[in-house]
Structure 1
């Protein structure tokens, strides 16, 4: 009997995943436990194995599709097996997928294929299934323009497919102009190849709404002419998660910040000594170690808000922000307060390598209590970072730069000398961390970095 393959849930907060690559084609044999497809969540790109053996009879969502969790994405069964019953209706599903679909949309009654969609009044709220909305987005269709054949004009995938099939043929450039200019195609006759609507047709009917060649738009008759306009690209799962988390952070936290400049002379000397011993230590490792020590002195900075409570941690797990193609992830160095500087360096190198290879697990990037974000390698002097919820603080680290500073010598005389200085900015949640407490935390951090022997 054929089996449905569903979009798996990877992580507690996952709501949808992106299919990035099918490793088997329709009609190929699949063995249980062998790689079947690759998917991207909000943080990871992972390979998923088949749960059953058989033939890949049908791929319901091609690579590139964003699919809600538990929704069907493929069917595996015996060669030639009739799977029409599984594919009937708008959402082919079994088990939990059935439950998810029933929660996501009202039940849709079967209607004869020739039934005309019910008319929709102007401004009427549109109800549609997830797959119908997905198909509409893929084809650049306004879902409100599609008539629904379901109860209460509910739009299903079949309605969108029928709408797309009846749409007038149009060139890609003209389609972009229609989308950006809000142009109606009603009554426009195409003069292009096979009756396609071209930019010339749009300009003839609605010249004010269509950019002219002088404004940078090219026509199909002059393909060599410079074309400039807009480009739309769907957010990746990772970028959506970053957007959602940053908005949540700014709306939920009373975020403010303090800045402090640190003389890194002794920290640089410490790193040089480790290097002479053949031990690779980065400046970021030293800063993470200093933060771990300071957080033990100031547990409120290592805590977070949960409703009307403050949750304190007996451990220190420090996230280190890592830039990867398409976004930013924060792998966590666990027990940073007890593994020591070399332990932090080893774990940091391991996490960065796993992050850039897309091999982090769910555990690797969850459970942080504080975050360090460094942009010094990009020549950034200083910056303000946004707190990574549910944490209550994040440290932004700028570059180490030779800077003139004033020091007082043994005789009490002031002198101007050049020192390597790093600018730090602590963003913190003012709901639980007071300004004076944040300042004292930075002072303690400064003491560790300027006297690193205290934290080794």
Structure 2
């Protein structure tokens, strides 16, 4: 029976989506909930899972085509009817392997064994032979990621694995990550070795049912023909145990099959894995370093030349950089008294994008289209005020340790600004409103759903804190940390990105004093938070009168749609936010 795959509703205001990539081709088999394709909307990029197991018999929408919600994307034949001929070749091919004397025993449990049958010689380098079971494939690891390099296998052929147990480590030009096992069972075959690069969707390994044995026996009898080389060199071993380290290539291939042919050869085999370890003398110059690791090292002022890599071939991993950064922090306090005079400029590395022409990502196009739409459809301008947040920063300093222990999240200044902005929106509804152009009406919202602009790796994303006006400082801090983490890890859902009635952008987190931020579509205003800077300010002291003191100062900028918001409205709103922040009456929320 044919099962239709349609574009689901991906958010409150999402009406269409663009197919960015098909993860399966026509004629391929898919399982229930297996990722089938990637779709991009103006809110979020997401994967569409398969609603049924079967054969992908027809793709209705090609890549880069845009369709409305509910449109048919593909057709899957679940095998219950005869609507597709895609499954007919299986019985025909099933007869062909019958004369093979070695395969039927291992191939009997599955009707799809004919595909792996000719594979033993092709994959013999991995010591796995042709195996039958669940394929482990390289998943999509980002919008622009097309391939990945296997840096380390955490399991060997014959090992038992559990569902979601880390199976291997993969490195891309954006991130280093672990690939979990999709099912529980026994690792029967490894098809991509360490330091090899494979495309997204490529087969990495095969996992068989629990209790299954790796089909390595035929291989073990073929490989001993190559194994005698190290056996002949085993005589000098008594004089110097390290001598067998010379053959670095052969042991890597014979290490796993060796236990099967003879018990006498496992003795040198365990000693041989130690040989590759000394090969990398340094991880800084010769070893490959991913852009993510370089960026991490730059942000933490870690010299890669002094870091010893623990990855395959001496590769420096992000864990190595973080460990080096932590180690550098320990002696820092002792040297601190002598250091203040010498402030070193940060080391800046030339970007690999220099001189390159690359395709614009879908996320970048969406951001650009939204910003142009906003500028062309609104009369935007910006008003700025200066705020003294000295009292607020002192309260935060007193409460942050106890707050982190009690609530489980760090107390940054951001929740205070969100709280003040939400409170002021209740008193100034014109700022928390929307113009309905088609109807010629204005909607004044009865809730404060505040979008938080996040600088993520894929681009600027704006997840939404729903009902921010009803949350206290702890609730806002937890929700902000949760959404920011999901934005940077790629875990945002369409619901996380929709429904904002007002937006806050903290450009000061990167050192900007203030910015003329652009109002998002369907909103009336956006608040920009500048950097907090200590500087001398004239204050009116109750006893000393006018005097100069060092204060924590910041700028707040409000960009707004002048069709709905007048300059006086913007000034009144900013003055209310300023008053709330300068009063700093957050003791109850902080438990002080």
How far apart in 2 are the matches of 1:21 and 1:358? 19
Counterpart residue number, 1:67: 65
Q: Within the alignment, does 1:302 sit opposite 2:432 as a pair? A: yes
Structure 2 residue matching 1:399: 3-state secondary structure: coil
Alpha-carbon offset, residue 82 of structure 1? 4.4
Deviations 1:128-172 (A, max 9, x none): xxxxxxxxxxxxxxxxxxxxxxxxxxxxxxxxxxxxxxxxxxxxx
Alpha-carbon offset, residue 406 of structure 1? 1.2
Counterpart residue number, 1:132: none
Counterpart residue number, 1:17: 18
Structure 2 residue matching 1:453: 3-state secondary structure: coil
Q: Within the alignment, does 1:54 sit opposite 2:184 as a pair? A: no
Question: Contact conserved, 1:14 with 1:42, CA < 8 A, in 2?
Answer: no
Decide which of 417, 426, 440 is 1:287's aligned counterpart.
417
Deviations 1:310-353 (A, max 9, x none): 21112111111112223212111111111111111111111112
Q: Within the alignment, does 1:379 sit opposite 2:511 as a pair? A: yes
Counterpart residue number, 2:44: 44
How far apart in 1 are the matches of 2:515 and 2:84? 60
Alpha-carbon offset, residue 81 of structure 1? 3.6
The alignment yields a C-alpha RMSD, in angstroms, of 2.7
Decide which of 365, 368, 373 is 1:243's aligned counterpart.
368
Tell which has more relative contact order, 1 or 2 (C-alpha 8 A, sep 6+).
1
Q: Within the alignment, does 1:256 sit opposite 2:346 as a pair? A: no
Decide which of 404, 407, 410 is 2:539's aligned counterpart.
407
Alpha-carbon offset, residue 262 of structure 1? 0.9
* Structure 1, unaligned runs of 5 or more: 84-227
How far apart in 1 are the matches of 2:426 and 2:67? 39
Alpha-carbon offset, residue 286 of structure 1? 0.9
Decide which of 420, 435, 439 is 2:567's aligned counterpart.
435
Structure 2 residue matching 1:273: 3-state secondary structure: helix
Question: Contact conserved, 1:44 with 1:358, CA < 8 A, in 2?
Answer: no
Relative to structure 1, is the Cα distance of residues 357 and 14 closer, same or farther in structure 2, using a 3 angstrom cutoff? farther
* Structure 2, unaligned runs of 5 or more: 87-353, 405-409
Decide which of 491, 507, 530 is 1:359's aligned counterpart.
491
Question: Contact conserved, 2:33 with 2:52, CA < 8 A, in 1?
Answer: yes
Counterpart residue number, 1:208: none
Alpha-carbon offset, residue 399 of structure 1? 0.8
TM-score, normalising length from structure 2?
Answer: 0.48
Alpha-carbon offset, residue 6 of structure 1? 5.1
Structure 1 residue matching 2:585: 3-state secondary structure: helix
Decide which of 497, 501, 516 is 1:369's aligned counterpart.
501
Q: Of the two, which has the highest radius of gyration? A: 2
Alignment of 1:206-217 (within 5 A): none
Alignment of 1:179-194 (within 5 A): none
Deviations 1:30-64 (A, max 9, x none): 233333334333332323221232123466778xx
How far apart in 2 are the matches of 1:374 and 1:21? 36
Question: Contact conserved, 2:518 with 2:559, CA < 8 A, in 1?
Answer: yes
Q: Within the alignment, does 1:329 sit opposite 2:461 as a pair? A: yes
Question: Contact conserved, 1:5 with 1:72, CA < 8 A, in 2?
Answer: yes
Relative to structure 1, is the Cα distance of residues 26 and 380 closer, same or farther in structure 2, using a 3 angstrom cutoff? same
| Structure that is richer in helix per residue | 1
Alpha-carbon offset, residue 278 of structure 1? 3.3
Question: Contact conserved, 2:17 with 2:66, CA < 8 A, in 1?
Answer: yes
How far apart in 1 are the matches of 2:428 and 2:60? 53
Structure 1 residue matching 2:37: 3-state secondary structure: strand
Alpha-carbon offset, residue 2 of structure 1? 4.6
How far apart in 1 are the matches of 2:425 and 2:16? 33
How far apart in 2 are the matches of 1:59 and 1:44? 23
Relative to structure 1, is the Cα distance of residues 369 and 73 closer, same or farther in structure 2, using a 3 angstrom cutoff? closer
Relative to structure 1, is the Cα distance of residues 231 and 374 closer, same or farther in structure 2, using a 3 angstrom cutoff? same
Alpha-carbon offset, residue 367 of structure 1? 1.4
Deviations 1:197-239 (A, max 9, x none): xxxxxxxxxxxxxxxxxxxxxxxxxxxxxxx976251441x22
How far apart in 2 are the matches of 1:278 and 1:432? 40
Question: Contact conserved, 1:35 with 1:48, CA < 8 A, in 2?
Answer: yes
Moved more, 403-412 or 334-343: 403-412
Relative to structure 1, is the Cα distance of residues 357 and 39 closer, same or farther in structure 2, using a 3 angstrom cutoff? farther
How far apart in 2 are the matches of 1:76 and 1:366? 31
Moved more, 247-256 or 386-395: 247-256
Q: Within the alignment, does 1:30 sit opposite 2:30 as a pair? A: yes
How far apart in 1 are the matches of 2:367 and 2:85? 43
Alpha-carbon offset, residue 382 of structure 1? 1.0
Moved more, 291-300 or 324-333: 324-333
How far apart in 2 are the matches of 1:18 and 1:397? 36
